[in-house]
Structure 1
Amino acid sequence: MTIKNKTITQGFIIAGLMNLSVLILSRFFTNSTIPEFDPDVMSNFGLLMIVLWGLAYMSIAKNYYKVKWLVGIFVAEKFIYGYVWVKWILNNNISDVYKKDTMAGIFYSLYGINDWIFFVFFLLVFIKIFKMTNNS
């Protein structure tokens, strides 16, 4: 499977924008329900770090092929967040979050799905760059 460079650049931008959506769902870090349901990972500090990861994705969108190992780090980061989300979903009742706050419910419903999608995307990009740099 070949992914065009333009598509990859757009993928990095979309990944970043998805992370920046935390600003909306957390009401610019004023939504107390998100940190309440996962204070270790989704504290306001944790949410801020998600924003920074998003900015990192966007910062390399046009030059991703120059930073193979950073893309590899993105793969690991998305895997970790996806894994943490699966554990959270299996051990919590999402309807409890929705009862307290709809935007927090949306956040918890979607963040892991988003992370798994971009885990696959970053992995495919990493493999492409790895093959490209090892063949030259």
Structure 2
Amino acid sequence: MIVKNKTISKGFLIAGLMNISVLIFSRFFNNPVINEFDQDVMSNFGLLMIIIWGFAYISVAKTYNHVKWLVLVFAIEKLIYGIIWTKWILNNSVSYVFEKDTMAGIFYSIYGINDWTFFIFFLLVFFQLNSSKTIKIS
């Protein structure tokens, strides 16, 4: 299956915007409930780094085909966050987070699904780039 360049570029933009949406859920870093439930990964610094990753995805949306190994790095990063979320979901109560704050509850409910989805996306893009028979020179 070959995905069109335009579709892949949109995928990178959407991945970036999803990461940047952390600003909404964290109320611009003013929602202490998100920090409370995962102080290591979801500290304000951790949330800022999620936003930075989002800008990185957007920055290569039109030129991803020139940075196939970076696309693999993106996949690995999403895999790590997906695993962390899965472990968190198995050991914590999302309903308890919802009781404390709805936005934090929504965040903890969906962030891992987002990470697993874009892990698959970035991995598929990497495989598509890796299987390309043509060598592109810029």
TM-score band by shorter chain is: over 0.9
Match of 2:97 in 1: 97
TM-fit CA distance, 1:89 = 0.1
TM-fit CA distance, 1:2 = 1.2
Alignment of 1:22-101 (within 5 A): 22-101=22-101
- Compute the RMSD of aligned alpha carbons: 0.8
Question: What secondary structure does 1:27 align onto?
Answer: coil
Give the share of equivalent positions with the same residue, in percent: 67
TM-score scaled by length of structure 2:
0.96
Partners of 1:97 and 1:123 lie apart in 2 by 31
Give the aligned residue type for 1:105.
G
Question: What secondary structure does 2:40 align onto?
Answer: coil
Match of 2:8 in 1: 8
Match of 2:19 in 1: 19
| Structure 1 residue runs without a partner (length 5+) | none
Give the aligned residue type for 2:111.
Y
Alpha-carbon deviations, 1:60-101, whole Å to 9, x = none? 000000001110100100000000000000000001100000
| Structure 2 residue runs without a partner (length 5+) | none
TM-score scaled by length of structure 1:
0.97
Partners of 2:8 and 2:52 lie apart in 1 by 20
Partners of 2:25 and 2:12 lie apart in 1 by 20
Q: Which consecutive aligned stretches of 4+ in structure 1 deviate over 2 angstroms post-superposition?
A: none
